[in-house]
Amino acid sequence: NEIDIDNNSDPSRYYTYARQIIELKSLNANPLNPYGYLIDQPLYRYYLIPFIAIFGKLNYFFLFFNLSIFFLLTIKFVEYLKINKKFENYEKLLIFYFLLSSAYIAKNILSVQLEWLCIVFSFIIFFSYVNKKAYVLFLFLGLLALQRQNYILVSIFIGIIYTLENFYDAKSTIIKSIFLFILISSFPLIHNILLADSDYKIRYFSLKIGLLFFQNPGTDVETFIQREQSSFLVFIKSLYLHLVDSLPTMKIRLLEFLGIEIRPNYTIYQKVFGLLVSPLGFFLIIYIFFITNRNLNIYLFSLIIINIFPLFVLGDGNWPRFQYLSYHSTILFISIWMYKRANK
C-alpha cells in the first residue's frame, strides 16, 4: 500500500524532488527550479529515490525498513553499553531515555520525516569512532552534514578531534578519509557550481541563514538581513535592535528546549512527548557533562554548543522535533567522550 503523505508537509517536498529526478532523469536535485540551485536539505531526496524507483512509490516496506534499521541500531547501542560496562551511572538513564523517546522517533519515521536518519547516522558515527573505522566515520560525518546542514560544524569538529588523536597511527587512512569527507560534504557547492545560474553558483547552504536569524514566526519582526547595514556602526545598531526584537522568540525556544509548553495549538501528542523528551534530554546532557573528567569538559562544551545552537536558532515548529534531534544526537556524540573517559 502507498503511504499517504500530506501535500503541505516537508516529506511531500522531498518526495516530489525524488519523483522529478526519476521522471526527468535529471542530475539537478531540483529539476523544476528555474535557477538550478539546490533547495532544502540535500540528502533525503536521494535516500527516497531507490524505494520509488523499485516500487514506484513509498510503501509500507519503506516504513518497515526504516523502523528496523533504527531499532536494530538502538538495540546494538544498548547492548554495547551493557557488555563493555564503561558507562556506569549513565547506562540506566540513557536506556530509559531511549525507551521513552522510541515512540516519538517511530512517529517521525511513520510521518516520513528526515530527522530519524540523522539519528541513524549518529549511531554509526559513534560505533565507527570508538572502533577506529576512519573511512566509515568520515563517510557518515559527510552524509550527516548533507542530511541536515546544521550538522556541518559538529561533523568537522568530530573529524578534527579524531584526526588529532589518530593521525600518527594511520596517516594514509585519515588523509584519504578527510578527502572523502570534503568530497561528500561539498556536494551542495559542487551541485550549484555545475548546475545553478551564475547568481547562485557560490552557494553552499540550501537556506539563507540570514533570512532565518531569530525570525519570530507569525509576527512582523524584521529578519536581520532586512535591516540597514550601510556602515559598521549601523550594522552594530541593527544587530542590537534585532536581538532586542527577537527576545520573545528566544524565550519561546529556550522554554521549549527545557520542555515547557509556551505556544497555543499543540496536540496532545506534542504536549506529552515535549514534556517528557525535552527535560530528560536536557538533564542527561548536563549530567554527563558534570560527571566527565574536567580535562574533557572544554571538548564536551564545544560539542554541545555547536551541535545544539544551530537548531536552537533555525529549528522552529513541530515541537519537540528539533529538541529531540538536538538532544538525541548530542547524547550519542558525547557518549564518545564517555567511552574515552572509561578507557583512560
Give the pLDDT confidence of 136-195 residue by residue, as tens digits: 999 999 999 999 998 999 999 999 999 999 999 999 999 999 999 999 999 999 999 999
State the pLDDT at residue 88.
66
CA count, 13 A, side-chain hemisphere, 285: 25
Residue corresponding to grid cell 546494538: 76
Residue 34, preceding bond cis, omega within 30 degrees? Answer: no
Integer Cα distance of 90 and 169 in angstroms: 31
| 2-23 tens-digit pLDDT | 888 888 788 899 999 999 999 9
pLDDT at 216 over 50: no
Closest-CA residue to 104 (of 284, 277, 331): 277
Residue corresponding to grid cell 505556544: 263
| 37-69 tens-digit pLDDT | 998 899 999 999 999 999 988 999 999 999 999
Closest-CA residue to 330 (of 276, 273, 284, 272): 284
Integer Cα distance of 286 and 334 in angstroms: 11
In this prediction the pTM is 0.88
Closest-CA residue to 96 (of 286, 325, 276): 276
CA count, 13 A, side-chain hemisphere, 193: 7
